[in-house]
Chain A
Amino acid sequence: MAHAPREIIIAKNLGFQYVGARKAAIQGIDLSIRENEFILLTGPSGCGKTSLCRCLNGLIPNFYQGEWTGELLVDGLSVTTQLTSELSRKVGYVFQNPENQLFALTVEKDIAFGPENLGLSRQEIRQRVDEAMNVTGTLPLKDLAPYELSGGQQQRVALAGVLAMKPSVIVLDEPTSFLDPRTAEEIMRATDDLRRELGLTIVVVEHRLDLVSRYAERIIVMDGGKIVADGDLEETLDEKFDLLQGLGVGVPRVSLLWTMLRRDGLVSGKVPTHLESAAASLQGMMNQ
């Protein structure tokens, strides 16, 4: 029997309240994420998903002041006692707006910034930068300034900069919001390819499930700072559709259509998460 992949993120009763805030941003979070998982983290605006992500790479509690409770281990390191510089090697963070992340004069220098600050040898830096540019398809852009790039290219460069740190986990916080739909799909596909090729663990924060439902096997839903659902994406959509819909999660339109028709008594069976499966079921029924 193949042994289960090891746990890379473990949270026990994790909570955090920002200074000046009236209530906790997150509370009572119990979580275990295994290596190489692709996780969709979602929930209504203000539910605490970004705060949870900030904990994963130590931005909380190291850069945001507030009250911390519970325990969080990332790749065996405790977030509260570890230096942020150590954590940032383990957990890479891609922000919603790549403009906020890129700052060097050229793409290549931007990608090299992280590894240069790790005090690595020139050769090692060179190698990491080349590798990161190769896998993200940013090599042709290396001499351009980040501001000359399109949003999709910028987001690839941000991803490359994170990869050059050789993290085990990459957190992407609404990484495609600023991108047009085609580019958004491309970035999600590229992210999943990296997960497969490099054995990374991926956490994507996203409102639009249809963009990620092809890749993510597991969904974690938050509301009011707590986890309210955590499980297999397809099963969760089927069993907890009303909960998700009620929370304002952007359920795939085909799933919504299916639940409406199911309520009408016109279809039965599991809620489809992709277009293809919905189309096939409907065709089958109309052929009868």
Chain B
Amino acid sequence: MITLDRVSYTYRSGQRALTDIDLNLEGGDFIAIMGENGAGKTTLAKHLNGLLKPSQGRVLVDGEDTRKASVAKLSRKVGLVFQNPDHLLFSETVRDEVAFGLKNFGFAPDVVDKQVERTLEALGLSEYTDTSPFLLSGGERKRVALAAILATEPDYLILDEPTIGQDYQQKERLRNFILQLYSQGKAVVMITHDVEFVAESNPKVILLSQGRIVARGPADSVLSKDELVKKASLVRPQMSRLFSELTNYGFPSDVIDVHRARLLLEEKLSEAKVRVAQNS
């Protein structure tokens, strides 16, 4: 379990980035941390693997205080995938890139090879195994960076804006992958302002604004509340906005995803159809 206990963080410039953050993260959790640019999302993520240490409060990773543990040791448990893949990529081929972490952790060469192959396949990158990461598109490079971390099988996976530059199919793939991870008992934290991705993945949502947690709960209850969502400089998912226009027809107020919307509308529209048929 990762525990954040009243964590506050102030940058050296004196700027306060996080205030009184309490958070528990355990295997099987899937959490989306959402909020405006500059809300402190990435700062929070960096606390989870000890890259940043709290100015006040403490962070425990499996009981160990991050101020005392080395980042190297923590990084075996907590994998952090950065927003910008170019901060992470440096090898000559995609294979080397993904193998790098595994080799550093001392895995045998045949284990490394197998793991690299498996991870690349799972992320749809097999055809680029021998390609230079720098010849790939932005979205593809991002997946290579993700593969490099995933291959080491961390217990806690922190994804900083994983959907940026990804097309819809890649997002679907990512969603399935995340689902697989947390059903295997891993914890997945995703930092994102992609409300539609969150609406369709239905994680727990933590809403951050100006360094504080302003709301937490299931995605449909948080993302359907206009005031909260505005506060975090987000917009409600399109389905939620559509259903606000349809409140007079007796629909629930927390619809955020297209599949639930479809089921609800099918029912109402079928009724309307029957009425029309009867009247004519």
Contacts and interface: CB of A to CB of B under 8 A. Distances in A.
Interface of A: 18, 20-21, 43-46, 50, 96-97, 99, 150-152, 174, 177-183, 185, 207-208, 210, 245, 247-254, 256-257, 260-261, 264, 266-267, 275, 278-279, 282-283, 285-286, 288
Given A182-B233, A248-B170, A266-B273, A45 B165 contact: yes
B168 A249 contact: yes
B37 A179 contact: yes
A285 B249 CA distance: 11
A253 B238 CA distance: 6
When A and B form their complex, which 3 residue pairs have the shortest distance between CB atoms, in order from nearest? A45-B139, A248-B169, A279-B245
A227 to B, nearest CB: 16
Q: Which residue among B135, B136, B137 has the maximum number of chain A CB atoms within 10 Å of its CB?
A: B137
B239 A253 contact: yes
Interface string B240-280: 01100110010000000010011001101110110110000
A253 B136 contact: no
Contacts of A21: 135
Contact of B237 (A43, A179, A253, A267): A253
Interface in B130-187: 132, 135-140, 161, 164-172
Nearest to B248: A283
Contacts, number: 142
A145 to B, nearest CB: 12
Interface residues of B, number: 51
14 contacts: A45-B167, A46-B137, A97-B84, A150-B38, A180-B36, A182-B230, A248-B167, A248-B168, A249-B167, A254-B238, A279-B245, A282-B242, A282-B245, A285-B269
A27 to B, nearest CB: 16
B170 A45 contact: yes
B105 to A, nearest CB: 29
A212 to B, nearest CB: 14
A178 B164 CA distance: 7
Nearest to B169: A248
B137 A183 contact: no
B48 interface: no
Interface in B196-236: 196, 230, 232-235
Contacts of B195: 181
Q: Which residue among A150, A181, A266, A275 has the maximum number of chain B CB atoms within 10 Å of its CB?
A: A181
B165 A180 contact: no
Contact of B258 (A183, A256, A267): A256
A269 to B, nearest CB: 13
Contact of A250 (B168, B246, B272): B168
B193 interface: yes
B119 interface: no
Contacts of A266: 265-266, 269-270, 273
Given A180-B36, A180-B233, A275-B238, A286 B268 contact: yes
Contacts of A18: 135
B83 interface: yes
Nearest to A264: B266
Contact of A286 (B171, B242, B272): B272
A267 B230 CA distance: 32
B246 A279 contact: yes
A257 B139 CA distance: 26
B80 to A, nearest CB: 18
Contacts of B230: 182
A38 to B, nearest CB: 21
Given A18-B135, A179-B193, A245-B168, 14 more contacts: A20-B135, A45-B137, A45-B166, A151-B38, A174-B164, A177-B164, A180-B35, A182-B36, A210-B238, A250-B168, A257-B261, A266-B269, A278-B242, A283-B245
Contacts of A20: 132, 135
B139 to A, nearest CB: 3
Contacts of A50: 137-138
Contacts of A279: 242, 245-246
Contacts of B258: 253, 256-257, 260
Contacts of B140: 45-46
Nearest to B257: A253
A117 to B, nearest CB: 26
